[in-house]
A and B are shown apart, each in its own frame.
Chain A
Amino acid sequence: MKVQVRNVEDVAIIDCSGDVDLYSSPRLREALLGQIRGGAKSVLVNMGEVGYIDSSGIATLVEGLQLSRTTKTRFGLYSLRSNARSVLELARLHKVFNLFETEQEALEKIGSVQPFGGL
């Protein structure tokens, strides 16, 4: 799995690719929690190249979500493939996360200057 962070204006985007499992999820966790703790106003995870995610990967995303609520950081996921989406749906988490189809949509909604909680 590869994890890379880039910034689009004041939004931190975490590009994630490969399998997110017990072995690799600590790398995603480090990047995700690092961005939120580091004061990013908005954090997006690009899931477009994630072909597999297991319960430890889901746990990492939930941890990020919980921390983002504490720090009032806007947080969302986009470009989920069918496998990842179906796992989130099975865990009934698809309505808990802010999910977007594309990066553009995610940036428009998450990156817009609206009060936290508007999503």
Chain B
Amino acid sequence: MRIDLTSEPRLLQILRGVVRCRALEAGVPEPEAERLALAVSEAAANVIRHTYGGREDARLALEIRTFPDRLEFVLEDWGPKVCLDQIRHRPLDDVRPGGLGTYFMNCFMDDCSYDPDFAEGNRLRMIKYRQREVAH
């Protein structure tokens, strides 16, 4: 499924609801669905704050793909290219406001990567692998 929305911070709550709902439908346990919703919301918040500089009339799109072994969340924006060198969370022992969004994304997703072939803006692909059943 794919949803398109504007870069209004108030819409993050709806985005989280969609992620949470889709993850639950795909059989993800509720606590993990919450964590996935947080990770995607942080990614979208980063786009709103940093890529769009707080503009609320820009575009965002989220595509959620479910596979037998994983869930993929693909977030697209049409802003300036992200400088990968500048995406770094703050050291956790350096207690100050900010700098944790990317950390939470990396904690809750198994892989986060940008598509270098998406020329119009940024396409962030976040993957969460399903936990395998333990054979008894």
Residue positions of A touching B, CB distance < 8 A: 19, 21-23, 52, 54-56, 58-60, 62-63, 65-66, 83, 87, 90-93, 96
| B95 with A22: CB separation less than 8 A | no
| B9 with A58: CB separation less than 8 A | no
In chain B, residues 1-51, which have Cβ atoms closer than 8 Å to a Cβ of chain A?
A: 8-10, 12-13, 16, 34, 38, 41-42, 45, 48-49
Q: Residues of B contacting A60 with CB < 8 Å?
A: 97
Contact with B16, one of A52, A66, A91 (Cβ below 8 angstroms): A52
A97 to chain B minimum Cβ distance, whole angstroms, is 10
| A54 with B45: CB separation less than 8 A | yes
In chain B, residues 87-116, which have Cβ atoms closer than 8 Å to a Cβ of chain A?
A: 92-93, 95-101, 103-104, 107
The docked-state distance in angstroms from the alpha carbon of A22 to that of B42 is 9
Known: A21-B9, A90-B107. A56 touches B95 (CB 8 A): no
The chain A residue sitting closest to B98, CB to CB, is A59
| B9 with A62: CB separation less than 8 A | no
B100 to chain A minimum Cβ distance, whole angstroms, is 4
| A58 with B100: CB separation less than 8 A | yes
The chain A residue sitting closest to B10, CB to CB, is A23
| B9 with A91: CB separation less than 8 A | no
